[in-house]
Structure 1
Amino acid sequence: MITDDDVLGDAVRNNAEWCQVMCRAHGLTGTFGPRAWTSAARTPLYYPDAVALTADADVEDFLGTIDRTTPGASVKDSFARFDLAEAGFTMLFEASWIARPAGLPAPAAPGDWRPVRTPAELAAWALAWSGDDEDDAALFRPELLADPATTIVAGYGADGRILGGAVLSASARVTGVSNLFATGDTDPSFVWAGALASAPADRPVVGYESGDDLAPARAAGFEPIAPLRVWLDG
């Protein structure tokens, strides 16, 4: 039986593994230590340079191993334990890890939901995710399509327009959901339904959300399980 503590640890590890996949798509290699994942080179936009993996992680597990030569390095304080202000960081945001138990039926998902398979489909997905910001859209490289643990899903309307999408990341015992977005007037609950319809039903689904984004996640069967913080250097 998987306990809440197990699910939290699995959610943290799953998220760090997704960070590793994103870094690898950009030609970078992070390192999994016993208590933290770190990248010696600066990570892609919006992705942390270090992730605390365990509740007993300490600042020494990552501050000396990330690149702080220029402002902008970030740390995912997965268990909301650190005060990095004295080290020159400011808290960027707080959020909640969320989990949805295995075995719950997926809500109905309006639209045609399917995996993104080709570089052209990924480019269209990334532009929709970024709100047509080409620089942000460049984050999602075709190399992601070859990763066996990563499934990028998109929902399409009858006219072919992308209604929303998400990234699903498979790990040992859970499926992570991230980068979830809705376009135009699409109800975010439709996107959660589409993502869940694409996820295996026999394992928990995990991720993190904050603020107003928590409500549609809860409506889809997720519950907050623990807080996290992200800190920004400089």
Structure 2
Amino acid sequence: MKYVLILFLFFSTSAFSQWKSYIIGVRGDTLNCVDLNGKKQGPWVIRVAELRGEPGYDEQGYFEDDLKVGKWVRFSLMGDKIAEENYRWGQLSGKNKYYTRTGGLLREETWRAIEPGKKMDTVEVRDPADPSKVIDRVAVKVEGSAVRHGTTTFYDPEWGTVVKTEEWWMNKIKTGDAIPGENDDELKPIDPRKKATAKTDKDKDEKEAAKPAAILEYEKKNKGKKIKERDGRTGN
């Protein structure tokens, strides 16, 4: 029995030695672990105190390499659930629900997390008549780390009925079936010929600007006319 106890203590010490800091929860769980590189790992419970009239809250979920991942739940300091959020790469992603202090569902938002370091993203365009059907895929420029994308639904928290819905496209609200900003450069499908065309037009403008004003005026007046050019030779 003595050797079993020593072995248990050895493994316990080895397990905890990988953490720079941690706490033991009321159920004996190891929580709020910070690894030797100073990054949050595993299950965490965070308390935010009330400040300047803003209500405090508790939240619990998981960290991976200092980033929130998966489902996080937020509670008021009285213990009432006020939010359920999903995270990817440390940013809001998927459907997130928000509640009143009495537990009534207030709204449901849909978010899209952007992969760190990614400048472009490919977004599916769905058929308005059949949202399960993808009719196109559009490459768009992205800014920031998360965008509201999809349906936001507002509820009557007392009766649970839908009050209104909003459709969002990459942080812009949709009106009708049109994609917000689809005529803007940041929401156009990528065209590899665009750069080449722009460069050609720029070169053309630069060549035109390099000509003397007299020559430009002459070319303008005689545009479309057949002009006999002289090359300096004499005789027939």
Q: Same fold (TM over 0.5)?
A: no
Taking CA–CA contacts closer than 8 Å with sequence separation of 6 or more, which of the two structures ends up with the larger relative contact order?
1
Whichever structure has more strand as a proportion of its residues is 2
Q: TM-score category by the smaller chain?
A: under 0.3
> Given the two structures, how large is their TM-score scaled by the length of structure 1?
0.22
Question: In terms of Rg, which structure is larger?
Answer: 2
Whichever structure has more helix as a proportion of its residues is 1
